[in-house]
Amino acid sequence: MFSFVAKAVFAGLIVALVTVAAKRHPGWGGLLAALPITSILALSLLWVDTRDVSRVGDLSQSILWFIIPSLPMFVAIPALLRAGVGLWPTMLVCVAGTLVIYAVTFWALPRLGVRV
């Protein structure tokens, strides 16, 4: 249980750091958010928990395949906000759209011979 709480606290600190940085310098906040800190942490903790490099490699490959379908969301958010759509409707549309793209990705990758 301690391990779970420690991981949750660390993840929360990362989110807090990104939001604090973004208030002063959106570019730095964006850079911090874009860094694969969460992925590196997850890969490292998976290895610590399992000592299984094969699982770490599989997770890394899955992360790659699911970064790609999330990219349109980061194009749509600023476009919708600049078009005058409110924040919450923008988030709703973008999250829903991303979920649809993820579902298509989950469906398509195995049919293309990619194991996820």
Q: Please report where in the chains the tokens 């002063």 appear, as a residue.
A: 24
First-to-final CA distance of the chain: 28
- What Å distances lie between residue 104 and 7, 21, 55, 84, 94, CA to CA? 30, 34, 24, 29, 15
Instruction: Kindly list the domain boundaries of the chain, sorted by start residue.
Output: 52-116
Across 86-114, average pLDDT? 96
Q: Can you tell me the distance from the alpha carbon of 92 to that of 36, in angstroms, rounded to the nearest whole number?
A: 24
Position 90 confidence tier, pLDDT thresholds 50, 70, 90:
very high
Judged against a pLDDT cut of 80, whether residue 26 lies above it is answered with yes
**Which pLDDT score is estimated for 88?**
98
Other Cβ atoms within 10 Å of 109 Cβ, number:
16
What pLDDT score was predicted for residue 10? Answer: 83
| Per-residue pLDDT reduced to its tens digit, 47-76 | 999 999 999 999 999 999 999 999 999 999
Q: Map tokens 């208030």 to a residue.
A: 23
